[in-house]
Every structure is written in C-alpha cells, then in structure tokens.
Structure 1
Amino acid sequence: MTQDKTILVVGTYDTKDDELNYMCDCIQGQGGNVLSMDISVLGDPSEPTDYSKHAVAEEGGSSIQEAIDSGDENHAMQIMARGGALLALRLHREGKVDGVVVLGGTMGTDVALDICQALPLGVPKYVASTVSFSHLLPPERLAADIQMILWAGGLYGLNSVCKSSLSQAAGAVLGAARAVERPAGDKPLIGMTSFGKTILHYMVTLKPALEERGFEVAVFHATGMGGRAFESLAAEGAFACVMDFATQEVGNHLMGGLSAGADRLTNAGATATPQIVAPACYDLVDLVGWKPLPQRMAGKPTHDHNRLLKAVVLDADERREVARAHADKLSQAEGPTVFIMPKGGCNEWDRPNADLHDADGLAAFVDEIERRMPDNVNYIPLDCHINDAEFCDRVLATFDAWVAEGIVKS
C-alpha cells in the first residue's frame, strides 16, 4: 500500500512509550507515515522522537528547564500545550502532516484539546483518552470536528483491552486522512445558522436560491457545538457572507444553556464579514434533556424535544437581557450588518395560538431591540413571522443588493 498520508502521533513518550509506539506501528502497518511528538517534561523516550520535548517547549517560546523549574505540573503542561499546538499547526501548514492522534490521561488530554483546537476544520484529529466523553471536558475546549475514543484499560501498560482502543484510533485517523474531502473553496461560501425544519423553514427556500446565484451554503445546527464550528470559520474569514438567523446560543450562554462560547455573534463582525442577523429562537434556552431543570428555570414552560434536549421559555425580563446582549455584540461589528426583526414571532412554536407563544414576551424583546440596536447596524422590522415568505424575500433582497454593490464578492 502506498505510504500516502502522514499522521502526527502525540503523547508523553516518557510514561506511555509502549502505547504510543504501538499506535505508530498500527499506522505504518496500514501503509501510513508517522511523525512523533513528545510532550513529556521529566523523562525521556526509549528512542528519540521526531519532535522532542525540547523542540515542543521552544516552539511555544519556553524551555523544558523553565517547565521543570516552575515546580508546578499544571504550569509545565501548559507550556507543552502551547508549544504542541503551535508546532502541530506549523507542520500542517507546511504540508508535513495530514492528521493527528493524541494519547493521554488527564494530562495528555488537556494538551490534546489545545492541539486539536489549533488545527483547522477538516484536518482529522483524534484523541484516545482515559477521560473521553467525560464531564471534565468543557464544550468550549472541544474542536468542532474532534473525534474521541475511550482508552479503556490502558492507564499503565499494553494489554489486549487497550490495544482494541488504540488500534481503532490509529486506523480511524489514517482512514480519515485518506478519505477526508477538505472544503474546496471553488465557490464563495455562505454560513447560515438554523434548527430543524419543524421549527424553522427559511433554509428550505434560501439554500437553493443562493446556490442558483453561484454560492455554496453551509447550514450550522445552533445547539452549542454547531455554533462553535460556525464561529471558528467566521473567525478565519471563511464566509463571503453570514446569515446568522438562529442566535439562540447567545441566550443559552447567558442563561446556562448549551453554550457556543462567549464569542458567539462576534466573529463575523470582527472580520468585517457582511452579516444578516435575525433572532430565531431567542425566546428559548436549550438544556440537557436528561438533567433536572436548574433552580432558576423551575416552573417555566418547557418543550421536551427528545430525551437529549429540552427547551425552556424565557420570561419578558430575560428576553430583554438577551436583546441587550445581541445589541452589545453587534455594536462591535466592523463590517456591513443588518438585523431583521420578524415581529410576528421567531420560531414555529411562537406563532399565535401555538404552545409556547407569549405575546408580551415577544413585545418586550422587540422593544428592547429597537431601543438598544446600535447605529452601525441597519435595523429592519418586518410585520411577519420568521417562517413566512416575506422574511426570505427581504433576506434575498438585501443579499442581492450587497452583491450588486460589491459588498459580497460573487
């Protein structure tokens, strides 16, 4: 088999030498190439790695001696995390690695999360960890396309149980590196946020209409990780235009729901990307369906979407708080920004006579938006529901004007 892809194998080679070398052997046995990176501090591997612990620390502007002299294992590993992330990114940009797999307990996993976040979307990134899928891992530290497998039975030494996990991780990252279809970039890309068609319909109309105009459209599911992926691409300037119509994650972050991070609704503005914004589902906070409601949400109307996800309806004061957050974030935008406010409601459950409709709450949100929206934002109120044809018509009219003016590059 042709040795066509190179995988960066990362871990603490002083304590997990056998396990890491086993993964290297698995990758090479399937015809792949390997580069090894040591992120240990105190000990040394049995054989030199391609990138030593000294090279890793120096990549981050530090040294192994500084890590040792700190006398603090947390500080020491953050030195290695910084250097490891920068080195992995440089190797990828230089075309030397096609994917990464990191092995670790809590120490190695802490470093792994930084390395995976440093690499762009579409670069295969796998973590074999004793704490995979654990509540120890905060969502905001997970790369949008990170893959994890539980390193079962492998805390110390090789055995048949842990080999099952390690061989899967090795095969998975090599297979992904061979199979991945990276974003082509041959058409200008539009980033859109939404939820499923039962609650929001606009993408059904807008996606084909925009594709007919020669654009590619990527629709992101705004339930935390989807919003993180959307924001990470926006921060890279990957979008020709942003249609951020499902901004519920702004309220989620404020109210303790499924957060996409504190930077939600800011990265398109920071990169001066033209953006059309609407507040779909602003009135709801998504929570983990199988957990009890937080005390502050007790007694509020809820909708159980499935066993994983439930939505809680915000009251008028909370909606005003969410409106202020929208306005504050958009006030930082450096590029053309339009905010469309469908005054008839912002999700299918909020239509008149629907289960979660709250006319007073909607009026409170609209009032706060109109009072707080900054001057750099073109505010467009519409007397319709977000799922009505008028909304899509206005979006396309704004978009077409921007294309005609050269604001959006076609």
Structure 2
Amino acid sequence: MDPVVVLLGTLDTKGTEYRWLRERLIAAGCRVVLVDAGVPGDPDAGADVPAERVAAAAGADPAALREAADRGAAMSAMGRGAAAVLAEQHRRGELDAVLALGGSGGAAITAAALRALPVGVPKLLVSTMVSGDVADYVGGSDVTLMYSVTDVSGINRISRQVLGNAAGAAVGMAGAHAARRTEPQPAADRPLVAASMFGVTTPAVTAARERLEELGYDVLVFHATGTGGRALESLAAGGDLAGVLDLTTTELADELLGGVLSAGPDRLRAAGRAGLPQVVSLGALDMCNFGPRSTVPEHYAQRNLVEHNAQVTLMRTEEPDMAQLGRTLGERLAAAAGPTAVFVPERGVSALDVHGGPFRDAAADAACTAALADALVGTGVEQHRIDAHINDPAFARAAAERLHELITTASTGPVAGAGAAQHR
C-alpha cells in the first residue's frame, strides 16, 4: 500500500500552502489525509478531517471554541483534539508520517499533537518559530524541525524550495515507516532499561550498559541535557521500562542554580511514581552548565569555571549547593513507590572530579552525601557507599547488577536487602 502522510494544520490561515503540499505528496505516490486543526477552521478547505471533528475529539463544542474569548484555551483544545485524531489514525495503521507547518499559533497546536505520537513515527514541523529555543515544541519526542526562513504565507521563490524539501522529507520518512510496518517483528523483545549519561560519566554508563546487555536488557541511554532528562521521565511514566539506571543526575544542579540544562522540577520523580526499580547515583552533580563564558551570570563570575568548549562553560557546585542537591535527591528518592537504591562514589562524581582535577572538592561531595543520607533516614531506600570513582568499571558494574536484582525481585514484595544499607 502507498504510504500515508497526514497533513495537520490550521487551514483557515494556511489553506493555500497545504493544498500545494497535498498535490506534491500525491504526485510522489503518497496517500494524504488532510486534518484541519484551526480555530475556527475552514469548511471550504476540503479537509478529510474538518475542524469540527478535531474539536469533538477533544470533547469540546466547536461553536464554543469559535466564539471563545480565550484563544489560548481554544488552541489548547484543538491541540488535544488533533492528538486524538492522530492517535486514531496511527491505531488503524493509516499514518506513516505527519507534516505540519505554521507560525506561532499553528506550531503550538500541531506540536502538541506531534509530541503525543510514539517515538519512531515520523513527524515534521515547518515553522518560523523553530530557529531559537525549541524545547517546548519538541519536549521528549522525536519531532523533526525545519525553519521556514520566510513566514508561512503563500507560495513564493523561497517557500517553494523549503516546503518542497519538507514534502520530500515526509515522502522519504513515510516510505521507510511503511516498509517497517511490513517487516517481521521479533518474537520477544528484551526488557528495556533507561540510563542517563553525560560526557563526564560516559565510562561509567558504558560499562553499566554493557553489563546490563550481558544480563539480557536493551538499554536506552539519554543524554542529560535537560531535554534528555525530560525524555527519560516521560518514558518512565509510560509503562514501557523494566527499570531505570539514573547514574547521571546533573540536571538537578542546573535546576537549582539556573543553568541551561535543567530538566525541570519533575526530574527524578517518574520512576518512583510508577513503582519502577531504580538505581540512582550522583553523576556530574559537581557541575552546572552555561553557554559561552560571556553568558555566565555575573554573580557567578568568581566561581570555579571551566570552559568545556567554545559553547559550554561548566561551573563547580560549591558545598552549600551540594548539600541542597543531596537533600533534593534524597527527598525525591524517599517518595518512590518502587525498589530504589542509591550508589555513592566516594572518590568523585565526574571526570573532572578526580584527584588533581579542576573540580575535585572532597568537602563539597561529602556535604552532598551527608545531606542525602539524612534525607533517607527511615526510608526503604538502599544506600551503597562505594570506595571508588563513578567512572570505575567496578562501580558501574555493581550498580548495573543491583538494578538487575531489583528488577528480578520487584514482584515479590519488599526487596531483599532494602533499607539504609551502607556498602563499601
């Protein structure tokens, strides 16, 4: 069967562009489903799924949305309705790619729907809004972004090239997705474990991943860049994971100190809420991330700073910061509903926090460990204090093996060995 491309957008303002795209996609051999997510929509646009059906899919009254004084709320409703429509198309096997375009309003509506689709389903957003901070458009999903260069307003010399490229990309991705749907699926998937990694904890996570793979797991590694942490949290909440190996919790430092890689206030919560077995460590809590040196806030100018490269400046977290990070880590782990262990590397938490390294500060690390232990008093969270650096392969393998034990015993009630255990 021909691959199916869903065109999703606000046809009351972008009808010309969508009709142009539809012609090109059909000429390329695709079936096209045109979905109108506009407020108020365009009844003459020839949409396969008109705006009224999109609104109804969100449980909203289309007439009320058209007359609503709060346009933002109306747009949010259409985003939810569009997500429901796409989910139904996907469930029926009638969606191989989604292509959306728009300015600020159209991008807000369509991006919400794109993010709701599973990872692996091709989704492309063309917009004037995606040349800056795009975190709100992407979230933890695999949305592909293309900057439109000019405003999405008519077909001209520039938009013809940009939108033509977008159509070509959608055709290629849809064809690949359609082909995957016909491929034989493995009889049984290996259980999934999510892990968090940063450049300065790569040796630890690599060794742990290799050990978990030997034990029969597929390991999904997330780069702890804020977006990566949010993606990990989203996956942990989604019910697909057997466990979480959260060795790199550095995003908590950015949340605390205003760095550029914060994953937000919900970091390190989803696995606990879902009752997933988890092993957590202090990876890269010794640093907060900023952009080029000139972007570091003035009140941090006298801190211990390391220019990682021209675009990234690292700031060493000091003793009070580390104490607060230990408390935060402990409080979030204490709330976990599932078996949880924290592994503390006593010889450093990153590649820079080593003997003679620029971020070695044993007193700061000790403040974190002490505050963490205090926050976990009276809880069932295990504490493993290991006389090793986080990047020591033995440390990483021990953490991986303990996660395997927690996973294999999680269904039998309280985990053997649970409690404030101190292992050295």
1:296-315 maps to which residues of 2 (within 5 A)? 296-315=299-318
Paired amino acid for 2:113:
I
Structure 1 residues 290 and 165: CA distance shift in structure 2, 3 A? farther
Deviations 1:370-400 (A, max 9, x none): 1112503111111211112331242244134
CA-based RMSD: 2.2
The answer to whether structure 1 residue 201 and structure 2 residue 198 are counterparts is no
Residue 143 of structure 2 is aligned to residue 179 of structure 1 = no
Other structure's SS at 2:98 match: strand
Q: Specify the code of the residue in structure 2 equivalent to 1:173.
A: A
Q: Does 1:15 align with 2:13?
A: yes
Measured against aligned partners, the alpha-carbon deviations of 1:57-93 in whole angstroms (never above 9, x if no partner) come to 1111112211122223223222212211222223222
Match for residue 399 of structure 1?
403
For 1:276-287, what aligned pairs fall within 5 Å after superposition? 276-287=279-290
2:135 is the counterpart of 1:151:
no
- Counterpart of 1:42 in structure 2 is 40
After superposition, residues 271-350 of structure 1 pair within 5 angstroms as 271-289=274-292, 292-350=295-353
Change (3 A) 1:297 1:91: farther
Deviations 1:10-53 (A, max 9, x none): 11111211101111222222211111111122352544211111
Determine if contact 2:60/2:77 at 8 Å carries over to the other structure.
yes
Amino acid in the other structure paired with 2:219: V
1:99, CA displacement in angstroms? 2.0
- The structure-2 alpha-carbon separation of the partners of 1:138 and 1:220, relative to structure 1 and needing over 3 Å to count, comes to closer
CA offset at residue 241 of structure 1? 1.7
Query: Residue 256 of structure 1 aligns to which amino acid in structure 2?
Result: G
Query: Which of 60, 63, 75 pairs up with 1:62?
Result: 60
> Could you state the TM-score of these two structures normalised by the residue count of structure 1?
0.92
Three-state SS of the structure 1 residue aligned to 2:248 is coil
- Per the alignment, do residues 188 and 156 of structure 1 end up closer, same or farther by CA in structure 2, a change over 3 Å counting? same
| One-letter amino acid of the structure 1 residue matched with residue 240 of structure 2 | A
Structure 1 range deviating more: 295-304 or 262-271: 295-304
Q: Which runs of 5+ in 1 are unaligned?
A: none
Query: How far off is 1:56 after superposition?
Result: 0.8
Matched, 1:221 2:223: yes
- 1:189-231 CA deviation, whole Å, 9 max, x = no partner? 11111123x5531233222222222211121111122222222
1:353 paired residue number: 356
Distance 1:376 1:85 in 2: 39
C-alpha change, 1:259 and 1:116, in structure 2 (3 Å) is: farther
Aligned to 2:417: none
Given the superposition, is the C-alpha separation of residues 43 and 89 from structure 1 closer, same or farther in structure 2, using an over 3 Å criterion?
closer
Matched residue SS, 2:152: coil
Q: In structure 2, do the counterparts of structure 1 residues 75 and 396 end up closer, same or farther at CA, with 3 Å as the change threshold?
A: closer
The CA distance in 1 between the partners of 2:129 and 2:135, in whole Å, is 12
Q: Which residue in the other structure is 2:70 paired with?
A: 72
Higher alpha-carbon deviation: 120-129 or 183-192: 183-192
1:114 counterpart residue number: 112
Structure 1 ranges of 4+ moved more than 6 A: 181-185
**Alpha-carbon distance in structure 1 between the residues aligned to 2:17 and 2:234:** 33
1:141 Cα offset (Å) = 5.5
Compared CA separation, residues 406 and 333, structure 1 to 2 (3 A) = closer
Alpha-carbon spacing, 1:344–1:208, altered in 2? closer, same or farther (3 Å): same
Cα 1:73–1:404 shift into 2, 3 Å: closer
Q: Counterpart of 2:421?
A: none
Deviations 1:119-174 (A, max 9, x none): 12111111110121224x44486343111111223432111210111122222123
1:378 has 2:388 as partner: no
- Distance between the aligned counterparts of 1:224 and 1:149, measured in 2? 21
- Normalising by structure 2, we get a TM-score of 0.89
Contact 1:116 1:143 (C-alpha < 8 Å) held by counterparts: no
Q: Distance in 2 between matches of 1:288 and 1:38?
A: 40
Q: Structure 2 counterpart of 1:83, which letter?
A: G
In structure 2, relative to structure 1, the CA distance for the partners of 1:155 and 1:212 (3 Å cut) is closer
**Alpha carbons of 1:404 and 1:117: their partners in 2 closer, same or farther (altered >3 Å)?**
closer
1:117 Cα deviation (Å)?
A: 1.7
SS in 2 for 1:312: strand
Q: How many residues align?
A: 404
Gaps of 5+ in 2: 413-424
On the 8 A contact 1:323/1:365 being kept in 2, the answer is yes
The CA distance in 2 between the partners of 1:293 and 1:99, in whole Å, is 41
